[in-house]
Amino acid sequence: MAIDEPGGPTKRDFLYLVTAMAGAVGVGAASWPFIDQMRPDASTLAMASIEVDVSSLAEGMSLTVKWRGRPVFIRNRTQQEIEAAKATALDDLKDPFARNANLSDDQPATDVARSAGEAKENWIVMIGVCTHLGCVPLGQAGDFGGWFCPCHGSHYDTAGRVRKGPAPENLAIPRFEFVSETVVRIG
């Protein structure tokens, strides 16, 4: 059918179509800067994961690093700290779940589930933010030798599990892995 044939498309229909398409392209071009600015910037993407050399951490030492704007505690636990965490009955815990992003959500809060695994059970990596109101707990303190939040009195054991106080959950464990014997990647 040709344009302007009776019952067919007219020049006016063609102009409406071209105008609508030009308008859609114009709206898309005008809105792109607003959409594009919602993407994370390069500094945020760079902090998506970090690698930390833990070769200088002797047994019993801790290190705090910043990841995604939050403190992360990395600790090379002593054998006594591991044994104390293993000796804790799971029924004695306020929060029975591991809160380990590397494991399934229903994993129980055993010492191994909270650590870097059976081969590296001495290593624990946790987000250092109290689960009560977001304070930063003090290390190697409190009634259970782990972490203590002085703001409201939450006590965590040597595996970062809440044992006493108002905190409702264990300290969270981010995704992490050892990329070598002495380097851990967080994120």
At residue 66, the 3 state secondary structure works out as strand
Specify the DSSP class assigned to residue 87: H
Tell me which H or E stretch contains 84: helix 79-87
Asked whether the beta carbons of 186 and 176 are under 8 A apart, the reply is yes
Convert the pLDDT of each residue in 22-76 to its tens digit: 999 988 888 888 888 887 776 666 668 889 999 999 998 999 999 888 999 999 9
Whole-number mean pLDDT of the chain?
A: 87
Provide the pLDDT confidence category of residue 79 given band limits of 50, 70 and 90: very high
**152 belongs to the catalytic site:** yes
SS3 content of the chain, % helix, strand, coil (to 5): 25, 25, 50
In the CATH scheme, what is the code of domain 46-186? 2.102.10.10
Provide the pLDDT confidence category of residue 4 given band limits of 50, 70 and 90: low
Determine the pLDDT at residue 21.
93
The owner of tokens 């965590």 is 156
The owner of tokens 């030009």 is 22
* Token code pair at residue 68: 């995604």
Give the end-to-end CA distance of the chain in Å, rounded to a whole number: 61
Convert the pLDDT of each residue in 85-118 to its tens digit: 898 888 888 888 888 888 888 889 898 998 888 8
**Domain assignments of the chain as residue spans, ordered by start:** 1-39, 46-186
Query: 152, 175, 179, 183: which one is catalytic?
Result: 152
* Distance of alpha carbon 178 from alpha carbon 26, whole angstroms: 50
Provide the pLDDT confidence category of residue 5 given band limits of 50, 70 and 90: low
